[in-house]
Amino acid sequence: IAGLFTVFSSFVFSSTVINFLRSDISDLKDALFFFLLLIDLTKATLLAQFALSSCSRAEVRTNIARGMAMLGPTITLDTVVETLVIGIGTLSGVRRLEILCCFACMSVVVNYVVFMTFYPACLSLILEEEQKPNPVVQRVKIIMAAGLMMVHAHSRWPFGTGDQEDIPEAEPRSPLVADHTMASSNRTEDVDVHVYIMKWLTVSAEHVVILILLLALAVKYIFFEDKEELKESIILSEMADINEGADITGFEGRLAQAHMDAFLRHRLVPLLDRTSLPQGQMSAPNLGYEGRAGDWVEVSPLKDDKAVQTHEEKISFSEEKVKEEDEGLVLKRTGETSDSDTDAEEKSLMSQTPKEMRSLEECIKISKSEAGAEVLSDEEVILLVTNGHIPTYLIEKAVGDPERGVGIRRKIVGAAGSLGKSLDGLPFRNYDYNKVMGACCENVIGYVPVPVGFVGPLPLDGRNFYVPMATTEGCLVASTNRGCRALMASINGVDSCVVADGMTRGPVVRFPSVPRASEAMLWMQDPLNFKLMKESFDSTSRFARLTKLHVRIAGRHLFIRFVAKTGDAMGMNMLSKGTEVALKRLQQVFSDMEILSLSGNFCTDKKPAAVNWIEGRGKSVVCEAIIPANVVTTLLKTSVHALVDVNITKNMMGSAIAGSIGGFNAHAANIVTAIFIATGQDPAQNVSSSNCMTLMEPWGEDGKDLYVSCTMPSIEIGTIGGGTVLPPQAACLEMLGVRGANAEKPGENANTLARIVCGTVLAGELSLMSALAAGHLVKSHLRHNRSTVSVNPSEIVNGSRKEMLYHAHISFPIHYHKLSGACCENVIGYVPVPVGFVGPLPLDGRNFYVPMATTEGCLVASTNRGCRALMASINGVDSCVVADGMTRGPVVRFPSVPRA
């Protein structure tokens, strides 16, 4: 409607100007195409929507004024540029083109004048509520009425008779004045109204095209205009009706202003991009909340973090267009941000608190209405949660805003656990919780940003990889990177091979007797019967394919280990579903079989087990490399003989003495876990995935080179599902070229990632073993991995809170200066790991709310159910620390056994 009004008013005023200049108005029909193309309706509709977001009459005037302040400079610049460009056509010498360009220039100028004066006044009058008459508004109406009467009178003047001033023949001829007008400039004649009207009513092809264009514009702006902003104004209007008579200069005024600022920033970024302002030099006026000191100022250009910047209505704003520029723009407040200011800001952005808190009955009624709990304040939602009307894990769904739901849950946990400001250091804003809900974590209260460093290039199978590692252990990335440099200088880089592929699930079943259990075991070992089981299993998935059944008997119990390929997924859920269906098929043959558990620990998942070390689980990978002697001595600072000697005594003999299962390595778990966290894998599966045997031996004719290999039989890994759906983790997979499923060859991406893990482990083993052989381990850790920051709890809570919140606003909620030399090297960012809570946990007479950072769905929910059961137990949980002592086990050698 605003767009159509703009077209109509601009056309009327343009016709008036043309009549005033004594041009032949019939020529205007030839310039209608120019006229329609040059009218910019987006700004008119933007101002109208902005005005509609007002909750009161006073706010209408304020919103229109602020909107004009933002739109005015852009429209003025556009008008000047358009007029100058189109004005070139008046110098072409082509008669018809000159007339069209003159009409176009006039329409641009008239449209600008109308938009800056007439349109805002009409918009304000239309939106004025019928309340007590305002004398000022009445005067404006009188003035407007008088002006319109003059316009009507003047626009009808050419239809009457009258004398026109003589125009000297010596004056330059204007292209706006028609030929017959110039010929009769020294005389007056009556205008034939009938001929004049018939000329306009004559139907031609041009009129049909113009009619179609007008109808298309009407349909577009009536039916396809974006209504997202109007939805917010409806909610604000409902709140204003509920709190009729409240002072809008209070909280409602600040809330409306916050919505207005975010609305303008979101809609004006594309407009500002089209201006001639230099890149990265944009500034914005003060759009802050009332009572906040300081203006918006430009600070050093920074990139907005795409991984966590997901909502446009934030203190720092960005569009995809701005993000992709070489120099981004970040706006921040001048001056210090106090705690009270921060709290007020959180309330303004997350809560729509009415003047007085509604009763429980009113809140229940509103939450069950069509509006839902979205229109309730945070305190009212908390009231519903504490009274059991909204489950804690469904707050996000109830309020319709995941981030707001997380904020409400933080308040509930903080109050229930008397946590005070303990949660202030845990960021939660600017994160896409939609991808977390129902997939990775429950009861979310924020996320833990884990720094990510990179190592590389890693020369693996003829390709170079830059491997992301998320860790807080100092020297790990630097040490592994040194190993990569050594491998880059090796003879052929790293060669790897996936020798087996099969995820497992091991249920346990029970029979009435041992003979019956034995009969079932023999039945499953028959190839024909295995085929029947395989058909049932494979029918549950497009990718899961059963390859083997490993059956073990214990009394009248059978432990059945299903082994299947799962494509590019890690595959535990695929195995569970397929195993369940296959067991039902087995139960049709053995009706007396009792299924005790879908998992009987014969899998074995997340626990050290010899079966995974011997039989393998997931991807079984072997890789090797040959390091020249000069690289060993110059880069690794040791010798081949020393490396081989230390590897045998430490990784072989030492692990055997310890009774290790799959632990014949120096620190494979470090690299595996760091890559798992960075790429969205399940970190708990590092237990089996870290099974590794590192072998070293002299190589070459004279034995001066070093041959090194790593064998990892149970890497449980995937590139789809689980935490890989989170954008930061998916970005790390993208770095390696293995994001998602491989469409051409299913399973290839997961195999490649497993080979990258094994190759990186080889680099880490090579570097650490060299440091141990040269005696550099303690020296390097004392130099690089000792924290020099004095940790004071009060400083963490009070001193760093402002800084942490400031970083959270600009999407960098991590202190990078604290990482240097302490937690991570070669930092390229961080991966936010969602944090849920379980509790209360009744432990030793106290109740604890336990945070859990995970990307494994249902883990938090399952653990929380256990906490509820413990809360109902007799005395809760009693615990005791029965021993305390960290260990380090060096190996020494003596000249003889008696001496040793």
Q: Which entry of 29, 311, 397, 781 is annotated as an active-site residue? A: 781
If asked whether residues 580 and 693 sit together in one domain, one would say no
Identify which of 271, 317, 368, 257 has the alpha carbon closest to the alpha carbon of residue 44.
Answer: 271
Number of domains in the chain: 3
If asked whether residues 516 and 477 sit together in one domain, one would say no
Structure tokens at 91: 């110098």
Find out whether 568 and 720 touch, Cβ atoms under 8 Å: yes
Task: Say which amino acid occupies 154.
Answer: H
In this prediction the pTM is: 0.62
Residue 160 inside a domain? The answer is no
pLDDT at 799: 35
If asked whether residues 623 and 681 sit together in one domain, one would say yes
Q: Per-residue pLDDT tens for 646-677?
A: 999 999 999 999 999 999 999 999 999 999 99
Is residue 473 part of the annotated active site? The answer reads yes
CATH number of the domain enclosing 563: 3.30.70.420
Residue 464 inside a domain? The answer is yes
Alpha carbon separation from 374 to 228, 352, 405 (Å, rounded)? 15, 9, 10
Mean pLDDT over residues 440-449, rounded?
92
Angle between helices 57-87 and 119-126 (to 10 degrees): 160
pLDDT at 87: 76
Q: Which entry of 346, 473, 538, 697 is annotated as an active-site residue? A: 473
If asked whether residues 616 and 667 sit together in one domain, one would say yes
**How many whole angstroms separate alpha carbon 649 and alpha carbon 645?**
6
If asked whether residues 511 and 637 sit together in one domain, one would say no
Residue 717 inside a domain? The answer is yes
The single-letter DSSP state of residue 892 is: -
Which is it for the CA torsion 455, 457, 459, 461, positive or negative? Answer: positive
Identify which of 15, 224, 211 has the alpha carbon closest to the alpha carbon of residue 111.
Answer: 15
Name the band, by pLDDT with cuts 50, 70 and 90, for residue 183: very low
If asked whether residues 564 and 589 sit together in one domain, one would say yes
Angle ∠(764,769,775) on CA atoms, nearest 5: 130
If asked whether residues 720 and 629 sit together in one domain, one would say yes
**Helices assigned H by DSSP within 131-204:** 135-155, 179-183, 193-201
**How many whole angstroms separate alpha carbon 733 and alpha carbon 358?**
49
Alpha carbon separation from 168 to 22, 158, 214, 351 (Å, rounded)? 15, 21, 41, 71
Residue 417 inside a domain? The answer is no
Extended strands (E) in 506-538:
508-510
Number of other residues whose CB lies within 10 A of the CB of residue 468:
28
Boundary residue ending a domain (764, 784, 804): 784
Q: Which entry of 435, 550, 606, 637 is annotated as an active-site residue? A: 606
Name the band, by pLDDT with cuts 50, 70 and 90, for residue 760: very high
Q: Which residue has the higher pLDDT, 445 or 344?
A: 445
Structure tokens at 235: 């909610």
Which letter, b or e, does each residue of 640-659 get, where b requires 16 or more Cβ atoms within 10 Å of its Cβ?
bebbbebbeebbeebbeeee
pLDDT at 300: 38
CATH number of the domain enclosing 736: 3.90.770.10
Q: Taking 70 as the threshold, does the pLDDT of residue 120 lie above it?
A: yes
Q: Which residue has the higher pLDDT, 864 or 179?
A: 864
Three-state secondary structure of 210-227? HHHHHHHHHHHHHHCCCC
**How many whole angstroms separate alpha carbon 495 and alpha carbon 363?**
65
pLDDT at 673: 96
**How many whole angstroms separate alpha carbon 443 and alpha carbon 857?**
11
Which is it for the CA torsion 637, 641, 647, 650, positive or negative? Answer: negative
Tokens 């004095």, residue? 790
Identify which of 221, 163, 220 has the alpha carbon closest to the alpha carbon of residue 187.
Answer: 163
Q: Per-residue pLDDT tens for 10-64?
A: 666 666 666 666 565 555 555 555 556 666 666 676 777 666 666 666 677 777 7
Identify which of 316, 750, 735 has the alpha carbon closest to the alpha carbon of residue 567.
Answer: 750
* Maximum Cα–Cα distance across the chain: 136
Name the band, by pLDDT with cuts 50, 70 and 90, for residue 468: very high
Q: What is the DSSP string of 242-296?
A: HTTT--TTSHHHHHHHHHHHHHHHHHHHHHHHTS-PPTT---------TT----E
**3-state secondary structure (DSSP) of residue 170:** coil
Name the band, by pLDDT with cuts 50, 70 and 90, for residue 465: very high
pLDDT at 550: 95
* Residue range(s) defining the domain that contains residue 31: 2-152+210-225
Three-state secondary structure of 774-813? HCCHHHHHHHHCCCCCCCCHHHHHHHCHHHHHHHHHCCCC
Q: What is the CA radius of gyration of the chain?
A: 38
Residue 863 inside a domain? The answer is no
549: phi then psi, degrees, rounded to nearest 5: -120, 125
If asked whether residues 573 and 712 sit together in one domain, one would say no
Name the band, by pLDDT with cuts 50, 70 and 90, for residue 483: very high
If asked whether residues 658 and 689 sit together in one domain, one would say yes
Residue 894 inside a domain? The answer is no
**How many whole angstroms separate alpha carbon 613 and alpha carbon 603?**
12
Residue 855 inside a domain? The answer is no
If asked whether residues 537 and 592 sit together in one domain, one would say yes
Alpha carbon separation from 34 to 101, 369, 561, 571 (Å, rounded)? 8, 50, 76, 62
Find out whether 658 and 608 touch, Cβ atoms under 8 Å: no
**How many whole angstroms separate alpha carbon 708 and alpha carbon 697?**
7
User: For the ranges 93-97, 330-334, 572-576, 730-734, which has the lowest average pLDDT?
Assistant: 330-334
Q: Per-residue pLDDT tens for 317-356?
A: 333 433 333 333 333 333 333 343 444 344 444 444 445 7
Three-state secondary structure of 585-603? HHHHHCCCCEEEECCCCCC
If asked whether residues 657 and 587 sit together in one domain, one would say no
Identify which of 223, 312, 235, 221 has the alpha carbon closest to the alpha carbon of residue 266.
Answer: 312
Q: Which entry of 682, 705, 765, 856 is annotated as an active-site residue? A: 682
Which is it for the CA torsion 715, 721, 723, 727, positive or negative? Answer: positive
* Pairing, β 594-597 against β 508-510: antiparallel
**How many whole angstroms separate alpha carbon 367 and alpha carbon 389?**
9
Q: Per-residue pLDDT tens for 59-84?
A: 777 777 777 887 778 888 887 887 77
Boundary residue ending a domain (784, 816, 846): 784
pLDDT at 238: 52
**How many whole angstroms separate alpha carbon 478 and alpha carbon 481?**
5
Residue 392 inside a domain? The answer is no
Structure tokens at 613: 């070390």
Identify which of 262, 242, 263, 264 has the alpha carbon closest to the alpha carbon of residue 252.
Answer: 242
Most confident range (mean pLDDT) of 164-178, 309-323, 399-413 is 399-413
Mean pLDDT, rounded, of the chain: 76
Tokens 């006026």, residue? 285
Most confident range (mean pLDDT) of 138-147, 291-300, 336-345, 577-586 is 577-586
If asked whether residues 53 and 96 sit together in one domain, one would say yes
Is residue 682 part of the annotated active site? The answer reads yes
Boundary residue ending a domain (576, 597, 618): 597
Q: Percent of the chain having pLDDT more than 90?
A: 44
pLDDT at 446: 94
Identify which of 617, 603, 769 has the alpha carbon closest to the alpha carbon of residue 691.
Answer: 617
Task: Say which amino acid occupies 583.
Answer: L
**3-state secondary structure (DSSP) of residue 44:** helix
